[in-house]
Amino acid sequence: KMKKLVFVIALITLFSCKSKAPKTIVSTNDKTKTETLEKKDSIAKVENSRFVKVEKKEVSLAKVNLSYNLGKRLLESCSTSKFKVFNSSEATQSVIESTTVEKVSTVCAKINSRNGKFKELTLLDITYDVENDSYLFRYNIEFEKKYFKRELFITINSEGKMSSLKTKEIPKGPM
């Protein structure tokens, strides 16, 4: 009698624990499509979608190099404490106004205390924004200390200028 009870409980547990693929809802011009995604973090390439992941070879080398060089210049200034302000040929006016020496030094102090000195940038992916005709470059930032993971997001607009700049600490997932 006890064996049957344990068997039934095990059977119920087995059927109730089926895992399902994550679903993402992508809104497109008054239509809503549900796509099953293989990867948790990927953006679905759907007809009429706003964001599309692209390969590095599909983006002009000038935009890739610009995003890398501006990001590296900013992060290296955290080590040297000498920030060269962006000019109007490199960045939009809003980025130039928001990246003052004071703001950069405040952010650098926080990053240096938690992460140590900057080592290298590694391109993770590129997302094309169809609506704004811009590219979002996502970089992994490598530091001396490996306790905290940070990423750098740089948007290059259609004019070939940096239109946004953001760094974000990525929480570590479960082991």
Report the C-alpha gap between 89 and 157 in whole angstroms: 12
Of 118, 76, 84, which Cα lies nearest the Cα of 101?
84
- What's the mean pLDDT when you consider all of the chain? 79
pLDDT (tens digit, 9 = 90+) per residue, 71-107? 999 999 888 878 888 999 999 999 999 888 888 888 8
Strand, helix or coil for residue 108: helix
Q: Assess whether pLDDT exceeds 80 at residue 29.
A: no
pLDDT of res. 134: 94
Q: Assess whether pLDDT exceeds 80 at residue 25.
A: no
Report the C-alpha gap between 69 and 49 in whole angstroms: 30
pLDDT (tens digit, 9 = 90+) per residue, 140-156? 999 998 888 999 999 99
